[in-house]
Amino acid sequence: MITWLLSLPWVRRLGLWIGAVIAAVATIAAIRRSGERAGRLEERLNQQKEIADAERRMLDASHDRPRDRDDLARRMRDGSF
């Protein structure tokens, strides 16, 4: 039965078209997944940049802090605190 059906040219042509459509849909799905992954990686990179910037600002701020109580008192007297 199947051999008879496959011997018909229009059935073979239909099978080729169905195969081509399935391949195109699979390709589009793979491209979409790749784009989503790239978007997630870009978002993660932006978050890491923000975190590194915040850490750098905290370290810069810690360089200007008073080292001990005497330094704090001197800065408060001078008005440079």
Does the pLDDT at position 70 exceed 70?
yes
pLDDT of residue 17: 95
Does the pLDDT at position 77 exceed 80?
yes
Query: What is the domain count for the chain?
Result: 1
Determine the Cα–Cα distance for residues 36 and 34; give it in Å rounded to an integer: 5
Determine the Cα–Cα distance for residues 36 and 60; give it in Å rounded to an integer: 36
- How many other CB atoms are found less than 10 A from the CB of residue 72? 13
For residue 43, give the amino acid letter.
Answer: E
pLDDT of residue 66: 84
Query: Residue 15: inside a domain, yes or no?
Result: no
pLDDT in tens, 16-60: 999 999 999 999 999 999 999 999 999 999 999 999 999 999 999
List the domain range (segments joined by +) for residue 58. 24-65
Sequence-separated (6 or more) residues with CB below 8 Å from residue 5? 11
Query: Residue 4: inside a domain, yes or no?
Result: no
